[in-house]
Amino acid sequence: MCEGSNNLISSITPFRKDLRVKARVVRLWSLPSNCYKNSPPSNRIEMILCDSQARLLYICRYIGELAI
């Protein structure tokens, strides 16, 4: 588990395994499973996060993949 202080969004890399980011949710929405024609059903949630230095991050996850 990640110990210590919070990290900034700019410190996120594919090589970091554990991070703790303190951010505010700027926008949060979900897409219905029938959003596009001929697309497989999905339960997807999307969000935009903002950290203390006003850096933004876009996240798209399937609801089953979210870990809280």
For residue 19, what are the contacts with CB-CB under 8 A and spacing of at least 6?
2, 7, 11, 12
Strands 24-31 and 56-62: unpaired
Give the CA distances from residue 41 to residues 31, 34, 45, 59, in Å, rounded to whole numbers and listed in that order: 10, 6, 13, 19
Statement: residue 49 has pLDDT above 80: yes
Q: pLDDT value at position 12?
A: 83
Q: What is the pLDDT of residues 3-26, one digit of tens each?
A: 568 888 888 888 877 888 888 999
Domain limits of the chain? 9-13+23-65
Q: What is the pLDDT of residues 21-48, one digit of tens each?
A: 888 999 988 876 665 565 555 677 888 9
